Amino acid sequence: MYRSLIEALAVEDLSWQDYSNCRGGDANLFFPERGASTRKAKSICTSCEVRTECLEFAISQGEKFGIWGGLSERERRRIRKERSEKIRRAS
């Protein structure tokens, strides 16, 4: 019963976070003040082995802040919009 409770409460497998380049890093790099540079955060993401998982998590969860998978909210919003348009055209 304990295991089924844990499975029921699990929203998503987030074990990919254990392998991220940003793990334990300075959160301020990935959640900069408005207008601050995101260049360093994005460069850390560039070589991250879980970049795709991170980006997909942020897109699917509608994450509105920070750099996720090497992209800003504006860049992720564009991807969500493109995907929505593609689905709409297909139906």
Look up the domain containing 68 and give its range. Answer: 14-90
Residue 5 lies in a domain: no
pLDDT of residue 31: 95
If one counts the domains in the chain, the total is 1
Residue 4 lies in a domain: no
The model carries a pTM of 0.80
Where b means 16+ CB within 10 Å and e means fewer, 55-74 reads bbbbbeeebeebbbbbbbee
Q: Summarize pLDDT for 43-52 with one digit per residue, the tens.
A: 999 999 999 9
Q: Is the dihedral of CA 34, 37, 43, 44 positive or negative?
A: negative
Q: Which two tokens stand for residue 5?
A: 């409770």
